[in-house]
Amino acid sequence: MRQEMEEALRGNNADYLDLRIEKRNTSHVVYRGKEMEDIGRAGSQGGSVRALVKGGWGFVSFDDLSRLRDKVKLAIAQARMAGNEKSQIATLPPAVHLFDGDGGAGYRAVPLARKKALVEEYNQLLWSVPRIQTSNIGYGDVYKRVVFANSEGSYIEQERTDFVLRLAAIARDGADVQQAHLSVGSLGNFNAVTGLHRQVKEMAERAVQLLSAPKVTGGEFPVVLDPVLGGVFTHEAFGHLSESDFVYENDAVREIMVLGKKFGQPHLNIVDGAAVPGLRGSYKYDDEGVPATKSYLIRDGILVGRLHSRETAAKMGESPTGNARALDYHFPPIVRMTNTFIEPGKVSFQDMVGEIKEGIYARNWYGGTTSMEMFTFSAGEAYMIRNGKIAEMVRPVVLTGNVFTTLGLIDAIGNDLDMNQGGGCGKGAQSPLPVSNGSPHIRISRCLVGGR
């Protein structure tokens, strides 16, 4: 394929061209209630071309890998329609990298029967808990090989395997329906989704307990977040704001996001990086062929960096960070997070909670979203904190705030960093992209909590 790809890119009249060819295999197992609902396999193969002419981009995606040169020509013609300025992308030495993984051996080593048996086991365990009304379990995996080549001479082969397992237990009392969730995932290690029996049982028990838990009265509270929710908070409340495609051509936003600006107290350090190995957001090169990095976004409470594609880096006069990612060959790469986390501090969980008279301890991920300035995220599990102690369980809560004030309200950072691998990130139509995020336990001195 290499020769055909390089041939297709050669001698064209464009400022920049790249070509990605992807082959993927997936399988999934879905249980709803006691019965299996869906088991299946899928295979796909396709590619895309991206062309840059005078600052305008053309993009062509296709399933049919013949006549690559025609597709390159179409992308160039499209780019020409969109372009009307000088093209700018960060300069980069050409890179060559060949497949160095297991060629999918680890993926193929797990037969479909094993996957089905695992999900069935969890489902039976979940149903062993009294008063469970129903369950939903989805298991999915992907093995993909991606080959990238560009007009500057880069040629990069990469492969990856992803495993994801999501479970939900639903309990019911009359018209009252409550649910509890668990999500886990791994880059390449099937064992990460096995052996979760204790957690699965606890999840089912929690769904039942929620039926008798009271709702929180809405208002402003001190809130302690566990590492899972702290990670979602980091991703939603700050991570998306540091994606430069939102900043680079918007003067007003550039002013808000000027490097050197104080965002938090000196104990706050936030990092993103695909170069942090072994996590679901990890890779060697991004989908523009830029080597992965580990970037400090906030250091000692000060904004010191942001996430870039080659174009945003050039237009902002900063270095590329290797954060341009595409969900698959149907999409052009855009600026995305990888593994995003708050670095650990020194405060113990006991001390963090001990200082709160009335507050909320929010655990576990349910969802999160951002409008950049405002964010919301929801906890799968919540408890009142009363007089320095974890008190009664309450119904799951939705928390919201303004990122520019809330980061500064983090007044305690724990010593127990943990990464959540069960999430996926959506941006534009590209969802879910494998990412990880994490945090130690953190305390926000005041946070708006919805409720009746």
Partner 1 sequence: MTGSESIGIILGQAQKVAAEAEVFQMRTEETPVRFETNRLKQVMSRQGVVTALRLVKDGRTGFATISGQDGAGEIVAMALETAPFGAPAKFTLPARMEYTGVEVLDPGVEKVSVEEMMGLGQGLIDRLKAHTPEIVCEGAVAKVVAEVRLVNSRGGAVSFRKSLFVLSMEGMVTRDTDMLFVGDSEASCRPIRDNETVARSIIDQLEHARRRASVSSGRLPVIFTPRCVAGALMMPLSMGFNGKIVMQGASPLGKKLGEKVFSDQFSLYEDATIPFAARSRPCDDEGVPSQRNVLIDRGVVGCFLYDLQTAALAGTRSTGNGSRATGGLPVTQPSSLVIGEGKTSFEDMVKDMREGLIVEELMGAEQGNVLGGDFSGNVLLGYKVEGGEIAGRVKDTMVSGNIYEALRDIVAVGQRSRWVGGMLKTPPLYLPRLSVVSKG
Residues 78-107 that bind partner 1 (CB under 8 A): 78-79, 81-82, 84
Tell me if 372 contacts partner 1 by CB under 8 A: yes
The minimum distance between CB 250 and partner 1, in angstroms, equals: 5
The minimum distance between CB 130 and partner 1, in angstroms, equals: 15
Q: Which residues contact 347 (CB under 8 A, 6 or more apart)?
A: 412, 413, 414, 415, 441, 443
Residues 342-371 that bind partner 1 (CB under 8 A): 366-369, 371
Residue 429, Ramachandran bin (φ over 0: left; ψ between -120 and 50: alpha; else beta):
alpha
Interface pick for partner 1 out of 304, 376, 408, 424 (rule CB under 8 A): 376
The minimum distance between CB 411 and partner 1, in angstroms, equals: 18
Tell me if 402 contacts partner 1 by CB under 8 A: yes
User: First vs last Cα of the chain: how many Å apart?
Assistant: 60
Q: Which is nearer to partner 1, 84 or 348 (CB)?
A: 84
Tell me if 70 contacts partner 1 by CB under 8 A: no
Q: Which of 427, 416, 390, 365 is nearest to 234 (CA)?
A: 365
Distance CA 186, CA 306 (A): 26
Distance CA 229, CA 379 (A): 7
Interface pick for partner 1 out of 11, 91, 175, 191 (rule CB under 8 A): 175
Q: Are strands 334-335 and 339-342 parallel, antiparallel or unpaired?
A: unpaired
Tell me if 179 contacts partner 1 by CB under 8 A: yes
Tell me if 259 contacts partner 1 by CB under 8 A: no
38 DSSP β-pair partners: 30
Distance CA 55, CA 58 (A): 10
Tell me how many residues contact partner 1 (CB under 8 A): 81
The minimum distance between CB 331 and partner 1, in angstroms, equals: 9
The minimum distance between CB 169 and partner 1, in angstroms, equals: 11
Interface pick for partner 1 out of 218, 266, 277, 354 (rule CB under 8 A): 218
Tell me if 219 contacts partner 1 by CB under 8 A: yes
Could you count the other beta carbons within 10 Å of the beta carbon of residue 201? 16
Q: Which is nearer to partner 1, 261 or 267 (CB)?
A: 261
Q: Are strands 424-427 and 374-386 parallel, antiparallel or unpaired?
A: unpaired
Q: Tell me, residue by residue from 14 to 53, as one string, x for binding to partner 1 by CB under 8 A and - for no binding.
A: --------------xxx-xx-xxxxxxxxxxxx-------
Q: Which is nearer to partner 1, 417 or 449 (CB)?
A: 449
Distance CA 137, CA 273 (A): 30
In this structure, are residues 323 and 308 in contact, taking their beta carbons and an 8 Å threshold? yes
Q: Is 127 exposed, middle or buried (0-12, 13-18, 19+ CB in 10 A)?
A: middle
Tell me if 212 contacts partner 1 by CB under 8 A: no
Stretch of 97-105, 217-225, 298-306, 347-355 lying at the interface with partner 1 (CB under 8 A): 217-225
Ramachandran angles phi, psi of 298, nearest 5° = -125, 130
Interface pick for partner 1 out of 234, 378, 421, 430 (rule CB under 8 A): 378
Kindly tell me the number of DSSP H helices and DSSP E strands found in the chain: 10, 24
The minimum distance between CB 64 and partner 1, in angstroms, equals: 5
